[in-house]
Every structure is written in C-alpha cells, then in structure tokens.
Amino acid sequence: MKVLLPFLRLFKRQWLMMMLGLLLSVITLLAGVGLLSLSGWFLSATAVAGLTVATAQAFNFFTPAGGVRFLSIARTASRYGERLTTHEATFKLLTELRVWAWRRLLPLSAENLSGLRRGDLLNRLVADIDTLDHLYLRLLIPISASLLLIAALYGFIAWFDASLALSLCAFLLMVWLVLPVVFYRLGKAPGEQLIETKQAFRVQLLDFIQGQAELSLFGANQRFMDKLHTQQLAFFSSQTAMANITALSQAMLILANGFAVLMMLFLAASGVGDTAPPGPLFAMIVFATMASLEMMMPIAGAFQHLSSTVLAATRVSAITEQTPAIVFDPNSQLQANSGAIEISGLNFCYRAQQPILQELSLSIKAGEKVAIVGKTGCGKSSLLGLITREWQAQSGNILLDGKPIQDYSEANLRAAMTVVSQRVHLFSGTLRDNLRIALPYVAGEKRKAHDERLCEVIEQVGLGTLLQDKDPLDAWIGEGGRQLSGGEQRRIGVARALLRDAPLLLLDEPTEGLDKRTERDILATIFAHSSNKTILMISHRTAGLSAIDRCFSLNHGQLLEVDLQR
C-alpha cells in the first residue's frame, strides 16, 4: 500500500473540492436514510391514526408530508451536486497526475526507457493513470462516507433506543470491516489480470496499427488479427471475472442487509425505547435499516478495485520513481557557437552486452561536413545518441566547441544542434503548426513575417505545390501527416532543420527509403542552405555524398576514413 502514498500526497492540491464532494456524498446518504425512515414512520403513523375518527382528525399530515418532499428534493439536489463535484475533483486530479507523471518522465533518457515498448509506455501514461481515479472516486469517498453515516445512524437511532442503535451499528461496522477484506482478496487476482490483459491488448493493437504497411506488404495481416483476437478474448475474460466478483459482492451485501432487517425486526418487536408495543417507531427503525444498504453497497466495489489500483500505481511508479541516468547542469551558461566536435576514446555498449563503440575518436572542425557510413546495426545511430546525450558512454569524452557536453545545460545543448532523423514525426495539426515548432514563438504583427519565412522554406524544400491552395499554412495534414506522401513528410523534416538556426546539424539517414531523385534533391537542399554549419551525417551507403568533406566507415566499433574519389 506504500506505493499509493505519492499519489495521495498529490490529492492535497484538490482537498477543498474533495472535502466538498465527501460532504455532499454524506448529505445524499443522510437524505436517503431520512427519506425512507420518515416515509416508513409516516405510513405507519397514518395507518394507526386512521383507526379512530378522533386520532385521524388530530394527526398532523402536513409536516411529515413536507418533510418527505424536502428530503426528496434534498437527496436529488445533493446527489447531482455530489456527482458534479466528485467527478470535477477526479478530472482535476487526473490532470494533476498526468502533469506530474510527464514532469517526472521528461528528465529520463533513452537509457531509462530502453526496456519499455511504446504501447506499454502509452498504456502506463493513459490507462494506468485513469485507473488511479478509483483511489478517490471508488475508495476514499465511499469508505469515508459510509463510516461517517454509520456514526450518524447510531446517533439518530440512539435518540429513540440506544440498545437498538448499538446492535444495528455494530453489525454494520462488522460488515464494513470484514466484507471489504474478503472482496479485496477475491478481486486481487482478477484485478491484476484485468490491468495486464488490457496492457497486452493495447500493445498488440498499437503494433498492429503502426505496422499496417509492413503487415499488408508481407501478407501477415490475418496472423496478427488472430493474435489480436486472442488477446481480446483474454481481456474480455478478465472483465467477466471482475464482473462476477462485483455481482457476488452485491449479492453478499444484499444478504447482509436482509439479515440486518430481520435482526432489527426481532429486536424491535418488543418495543422501541419507552414504546412497548410495535408502532410507527418500529417501522422507522426497520426502514432505516433497509436504507443502510445504499451506504454499504459501494464498499465492496471499492475494495475489489483496490488491487488494480495498487498494480496501476506500481506500474506508473516504476517510471516516475526512476533516477535520470543522464543529468544536466541547469545553471550552466555555456553556449555553442561553431558546432565543432571532438570525440576521443569513446567506449559504449548497451547494458553490458557486446561493445558497440570501442576507443572511437573523431574530430570535426567548425563548418566541416563529415559522413559516417556502415551497415545497419554497426553503431551509427548510437554515436548520434551519445552526442545528443540520449545515452551515456561508459568511457571517453565528447567535446562541443571545446567543452564537455555534460557541462552544458539541457536547453543550451538542444539549442546548439538540429537533428534530422529517419522518422519525421508530424503532429495532427496544420502545416503551420508542424513547422512553427522549429521557430521561437511570436504573436501579433511579427506573425506575418513568420509566415513569410515558413512559405520561403517550403519553396526551398520543393513543396511549392502545397502553397497553391487558399490559406496553405492552415491546411490540415492529418494525424502523423497522413495527407502527405513519404517524400513530402521527409521534406517537412528538412524544412524544420532549415528553420532552426543551430550551428551543428546531425543527419540520421534522412533519405532512407526514398527514391534516388528525391534523395538527391533533399541532400542538395540541406547542403545548399547549411554551408556555414557543421554537419555530421550517417548513412548506410556512400551515394549522394559528393558535398561531404570527409567520410568514415564504422565497422566493429572503429572508424576508418574512406576516399570518396576512388
């Protein structure tokens, strides 16, 4: 249960809204018990008063009837307010949780997240955090409200008969203590299985969606659909198991409530307080006992969700409680102006496995264009990851403008370099939105000049056809740039690089998968508009590298200079 403590501390930020939700929940339950109790007393008292003409004429019908109406309206209004308040508090808590989780996630490097698949990480940041709303909505509120109502019910019934109040509330307290433990143990395995099968289903579904092109190309769609269907059945099975636990818990609570009613019928049969024969007070006590079911019913559901909440908290904490493997100096004022790189004695491997880079050394002068070629898996992308500090080398030094890269703050290091990778990530937004992220934010009159710069760069990368429509920068490119071709997506990545004024340009196979003509055009555009920048490009082939000053081959973790003239 200790794993829940960090999340409980976050709840303090919404304590006022949470307390208001708890208060309205208690008022709702009190109004429900009062309504049923008063109705039982009113019906019985009316029946007794109607036995004679004198008692019928003397009986006050209006006050109890008004009380019934008042409690009915109060219950409806407080229920609405309770739902509105608790759900508002829940949504605010989820917002706080997501912001908190992202703030803890941002400092983590690729080394911290290397063991997680994208679908698993997405599931933890979405589904697991959503599950944590049970902690407030289905655990804290129902438990606290039912406990407070047991105390209020004791005070109400003790006003008429202390022994009956003690018997009823002692039984309800025993149910409050015993049944949740039983339901927690019954729901522990299904709750954990529900979280795990949901995660596996989401990962499988994400892989299936992202890999549609490859699956269709190799005719593997049906096989993956079968796997997805199998995982879906496992998810449904865990949902069914949890639903069975829910049904059993409700049945046991209804049984316990029925036993409490029979017990009060027996104990109150001899009289309530000073009233010896059973009368209207007898009906009031019995109806109050029946009304106690409403306050006890959420208890079972609360504790059967506890196991899934604990597991979700454990999975989220496994990410958020990590210590960043790579630490930046936030107070550093170092800035890079030329982009010169000096690498010496670099040794790197992933998790003590086979070495990737061994005593690698490389010197790139300011404004020099250098390419590194090699087959897939030889460590080219790993080298770029070390320069951008996504990973940390086991030994060796990397200097940027003559200063160790670990001496730069993260903001200044990122400002010193532009990375064009194999995959260009496009957001679901307009063309302007996807290009403007490479420029500082501007507003007002400056935005017009900003847009002119965007259009200029779009022309430079050969996307002039996109400017033919009305308001071209407002054109919606779809999720992941689905409205664009692969070549157009790559050109937008290049456009971002041209917009960003950084002294060091890192190219991670930016033309991979493109035809030769498009590749030649993109490289020509990059080199033509980056003449004053330092460029380090990695590729698996030497074609199209005529503008490069020096070229190296990476093999077995070592660099060997290649003569491009041969």
The rounded distance, in Å, linking the Cα atoms of 384 and 419 is 9
- The percent of residues in the chain predicted with pLDDT above 70, rounded, is 93
Q: Which two tokens mark 291? A: 């009304």
Q: What type of residue is 187? A: G
Q: Tokens 């109060």, residue?
A: 74
Q: How far apart are the first and last CA of the chain?
A: 68
Give pLDDT tens digits for 346-366. 888 886 667 888 888 999 999
Beta-sheet strand order (sheet of 357-364): 357-364, 341-348, 395-400, 403-404
Give the C-alpha separation, 316 to 86, whole Å.
23
Coil, helix or strand at residue 551: strand
Which pLDDT band holds residue 443 (cuts at 50, 70, 90)? Answer: low
Phi first, then psi, for residue 563 (nearest 5°) are -90, 110
Q: Domains (ranges, CATH) in the chain?
A: 2-320 (1.20.1560.10), 341-562 (3.40.50.300)
**pLDDT-wise least confident of 118-122, 125-129, 265-269, 340-344:** 118-122
Q: CB–CB of 495/458 below 8 Å?
A: yes
Please report which helix (H) or strand (E) contains residue 130, including its range.
helix 129-131
What is this structure's pTM?
A: 0.71
Token pair 């490069």 is at which residue? 548
d(CA 414, CA 87): 40
Q: What is the pLDDT of residues 205-249, one digit of tens each?
A: 888 887 887 888 888 888 889 989 999 999 999 889 888 888 888
pLDDT of residue 465 exceeding 60: yes
Do 504 and 366 contact (CB within 8 A), yes or no? no
CB 419 within 8 A of CB 384: yes
Is residue 418 within 8 A of residue 536, CB to CB? The reply is no
Q: Are the C-beta atoms of 367 and 532 separated by less than 8 Å?
A: yes
Please count the other Cβ atoms lying within 10 Å of the Cβ belonging to residue 303.
26
What does the DSSP 8-state code read for residue 394? S
User: Using CA atoms, how far apart are residues 112 and 157, in angstroms rounded to an integer?
Assistant: 59
| Phi, psi of 246, rounded to the nearest 5 degrees | -60, -45
Give the integer Cα–Cα distance in Å for 419 and 3.
38
Contact assessment for residue 20 and residue 14, using Cβ atoms and an 8 Å cutoff: no
Alpha-carbon gap, residue 455 to 453, rounded angstroms: 5
Q: Which of 550, 530, 374 lies closest to 461, judged by CA?
A: 530
Please answer whether residues 6 and 249 qualify as being in contact, where contact means their C-beta atoms are separated by less than 8 angstroms: no
Residues in CB range of 176: below 8 A, 6 or more apart: 146, 147, 150, 296, 299
Judge whether 172 and 261 are in contact, CB under 8 Å: no
Distance of alpha carbon 474 from alpha carbon 470, whole angstroms: 9
Q: Which stretch of DSSP H or E encloses residue 552?
A: strand 550-555
For the stretch 90-101, pLDDT in tens is: 888 888 888 888
Q: What's the one-letter identity of residue 174? A: M
pLDDT digits (tens, 9 = 90+) for 271-317: 777 666 667 888 888 888 888 888 888 776 777 677 778 888 888 88
Q: Please state, in angstroms and rounded to a whole number, the distance separating the CA atoms of residues 553 and 541.
A: 10
Q: Is the pLDDT of residue 444 over 60?
A: no
Coil, helix or strand at residue 332: coil
| Structure confidence at residue 442 as a pLDDT band (50, 70, 90) | low
**Distance from C-alpha of 215 to C-alpha of 203, rounded to nearest angstrom:** 16
CA dihedral for 338, 343, 349, 355, sign (positive or negative): positive
Q: What is the CA radius of gyration of the chain?
A: 34
pLDDT tens readout for residues 39-81: 888 888 787 777 666 666 667 777 888 888 898 999 899 989 9
At residue 542, the pLDDT reads 67
Under 8 Å CB-to-CB from 551, ≥6 apart: which residues? 370, 371, 372, 373, 542, 545, 561, 562, 564
DSSP state of 466: G
Average pLDDT of the chain? 83
Q: Which letter does DSSP use for residue 114 in this model?
A: T
Residue-wise pLDDT tens digits, 375-433: 877 888 888 889 998 888 888 899 999 899 989 998 899 889 988 887 788 888 888 88
The pairing of strands 357-364 and 341-348 is antiparallel
Task: Please report, as a single letter, which amino acid is at residue 110.
Answer: A
